[in-house]
Amino acid sequence: MMKRFFTINIWLKLSSFFIAVALWFFVMLSGRSEVTMNIPVQFTNIPEKSEIIDYPERIKVTVEGQERLVRYLKPNDIAAVLDIGEAKSGRSFFTLSEENITLPKSFLITGIDPETISLTIERQLTKVISVKPHIVGSPEKGYRIVEIKVEPDSVILEGPKSAISKIKTVRTEPIDIKGIKNNLLYKANLKLSDPTIKKNINKVDVNLSVEKISKENP
């Protein structure tokens, strides 16, 4: 029976097979589109007590898929994941491929820009730094500041050695004391612009003691 199935009307069966394959390709390829988006770069197996600096936070990828699915695709649905477990301290270069891109199975990666990225790995440093209040303005005429206390008066910073070693003090946000004539307790944010540096506290209490100037005590 099986032999007769493959020998009778063989050309008709082959034609049906090729038509079915052609229809499958037509269905799969029709209605497809591409989209280019910026996706985040993520790292795994970061060497212990190390920090990554000078790297692109996002790269561009071109994704192909069914048009109705591409329409709802978001940048956060895709990521470039790079294993840097074997990287050494200093500057390194890595080439990205489709294997580094995580995305839903129904999509294809057709472009990566840039394909090669660089990053720098530095040893991590922890350091205690004093806090300095940033005072602007002056008290009411006839008054003066007699004492400024900061609590706590230091902050613990952690980050790349090259960045931490440059910091001598951490300043607070500007504290405007224009026209004050009474003691002031100000909860001030710490001003630190480098995003690679972590701090153990975000605010400090700045206590300002104010007194009236007397003729005997100018």
- What is the pLDDT at residue 202? 94
Instruction: Please state which of the four CATH numbers 2.170.120.40, 3.40.50.10890, 3.40.50.1970, 3.40.50.620 is assigned to the domain occupying 124-212.
Output: 2.170.120.40
- What is the pLDDT at residue 36? 87
Distance CA 55, CA 206 (A): 37
- What is the pLDDT at residue 2? 47
CB 175 within 8 A of CB 135: yes
Spans of the chain below 50 pLDDT: 1-3, 5-6, 23, 26-27
* Domain 124-212 in the same topology as domain 35-122: yes
Residue ranges of E strands in the chain:
32-44, 50-53, 58-66, 79-83, 90-95, 101-102, 108-113, 116-136, 143-151, 154-160, 169-176, 184-191, 198-199, 203-212
Which CATH number does 35-122 carry? 2.170.120.30
Distance CA 101, CA 122 (A): 25
- What is the pLDDT at residue 42? 93
pLDDT digits (tens, 9 = 90+) for 123-149: 889 999 999 999 999 999 999 999 999
- What is the pLDDT at residue 47? 87
- The domain segmentation of the chain, as residue ranges, is 35-122, 124-212
Using a cut of 0.75, tell me whether the model's pTM lies above it.
no
